[in-house]
Every structure is written in structure tokens, then in C-alpha cells.
Structure 1
Amino acid sequence: MPIDARLPYDEANIFAKILRGEIPCKKVYEDDFALAFHDIAPKAPIHVLVVPKGPYVSWDDFSANAPDALIAGFIRAVGTVARQFDLVEPGYRLLANIGHDGGQEVPHLHVHLFGGAPLGPMLA
């Protein structure tokens, strides 16, 4: 069910639990700013989620409230993961769902990184 991106951060959300190590994930990258792991229901041959290390509900919350170093580190982490999977030359897609109309289902900012095949039109 889509969530309201303006709600306060929920420490019980699944990505908060993954960041705390309470729920396992298939990690592909981690640094001081982000954790990246395979999606459990992939929509492309490569489907990785990249989450910032911090209590941010959405892109709006993150861009307004995260420290500059975390914003830069998170964006660099997304690029590092794309390069790690050799996706720069063939291309890839990034997706961040925000709020109800955007289809956000987890109240923790995350970016989907899709690749490994032609992805078709942006919106179905």
C-alpha cells in the first residue's frame, strides 16, 4: 500500500531493520553512506536497491534534511553500484518512488537500479 511521504520516519520499516542487521539481505555494496542489495522480487535481470544510511522517509525528506556529505555519498554509492555491474555503457534506469501517487511502499528513501536488458518505455 502506498504511503504518505510526509509522515514521520518509522524505525520499524523493513529497510531500517535491514540497515540494523535484523533482517538479512543479499548485499552488493556498502559504505558509510549507503547499503545496496538485490531486490527480493526483481523486475529486471539486475534489480538492486540502494538505501541511504539515515532516517529519511523520501527523496523530499532526504534532499531537505540530510547533511551534504550524506547526499553526496549516497549519490556516489548509486553510481558505484552501476559501475560495479558494468551498466554504464549499455545503460540502466534509476527509480525512486515518492508518496502515494508515486507508489512508494516503504517509508525509507530507496533507489531502484534496473539493468541487464533493454528496459522499454519509462512508464507502462
Structure 2
Amino acid sequence: MAATVPFNFLRFPFSTNAANNEEAAAKTAAVNADSGAPTIFDKIINKEIPSSVVYEDEKVLAFRDINPEAPVHVLIIPKFRDGLTELAKAEARHGEILGQLLYAAKIVAEKEGILDGFRVVINSGPAGCQSVYHLHLHVLGGRQMKWPPG
């Protein structure tokens, strides 16, 4: 009798390998998470690395992800880290910027024409597959989102 291949395996033939690579990258990134060294996002804020800006104000910057996971995939970052390398490091004093980041997500969704449905994702820590230790939100949309997410 022939073995049956799970539907998800047929649909996503490299998902196991990609997940392992993502996990490895997250573990590597976590080693220097609190070093204070500039991140790729700091370099984007300082215009040392080009980006496709979708929205910007005095506190946040939103730009297109270079490896999109959906037709709309925008990253939103605070311009000043202030210790916010990950959501798990948030303190009461960060309430204003956290609110600004979420409000910016709504503005991005509006600008991108996806107010009818979008997802906001925050990866925190190595087990959450965070790969850049500068708090950031992913705004995903432009297609039907599935549940559970991953």
C-alpha cells in the first residue's frame, strides 16, 4: 500500500527547510540582541540602506519587506529603539510608541487598500523567530489570511 503524502507537504514542499533556516537565523540574531550595535533597521532609518517607504512620521518608519510573505508586506519600526529590541522588553514607558506603531499599521493598511482585512505580526525572541532585534511590526494583506498562522 502506497504511503499518502500530507496535503500541506504537497502545497509547501520547502516549508520544513525554510522553517529550520528561519529558526537558525533567529537563534543567531539573538546572540547580539542587546549589544546596542546598529541594526539593519537603524541603517534604513539613517538612509544608509535604501528602502521603499510607505509611511513616515517623526516617530515611525514603514517600508516594504524585501522578502514579502503576502502581496502587501510592510514593516513598521520605531525610529528610536529606546531599549525596545523586542516586544518582551516593553515597559510602561513605551506605551506611547507602541500605540503609535499600531496606529501606523492602520494608516499603512489604508494606504495599501487592505482595510477590509490584514494581519499585524510581531515576532519576539528566538522562539518567536525574531531575526532583527529592533522592535518591528509586519503588516500583511492583499490575500486571504489563514488560521492558525504558523
Q: TM-score, normalised by structure 2?
A: 0.73
Aligned Cα RMSD in Å?
2.0
Which one of the candidate residues 71, 85, 91 is aligned to 1:57? Answer: 85
User: How much does 1:59 deviate?
Assistant: 1.2
2:118 matched residue in structure 1: 92
Aligned match for 2:104, one of 77, 84, 92: 77
Cα shift at 1:4: 3.2
For residues 111 and 9 of structure 1, do their structure 2 counterparts lie closer, same or farther at Cα, with a shift above 3 Å needed?
Answer: farther
Structure 2: unaligned runs, 5 residues or longer: 1-24
Match of 1:29 in 2: 55
- Write the deviation string for residues 97-118 of structure 1: whole angstroms up to 9, x where unpaired: 1001000000111111110011
Higher relative contact order (CA 8 A, sep 6+): 1
* Greater gyration radius: 2
Q: CA deviation at 1:5?
A: 8.9
User: SS of the residue aligned with 1:107?
Assistant: coil
Show the counterpart of 1:39. Answer: 65
* Change in 2 beyond 3 A, CA 1:6/1:13: closer
- Of residues 97-106 and 79-88 in structure 1, the stretch that sits farther from structure 2 once superposed is 79-88
User: Where does structure 1 differ by over 4 angstroms across 4 or more consecutive aligned residues?
Assistant: none
Could you tell me whether the CA contact under 8 Å between 2:63 and 2:74 is conserved in 1? yes
Whether contact under 8 Å (1:5, 1:57) holds in the other structure is: no
Q: TM-score scaled to structure 1, two decimals?
A: 0.86
Greater helix content: 2
The answer (yes or no) to whether the contact 1:5–1:58 under 8 Å persists in 2 is no
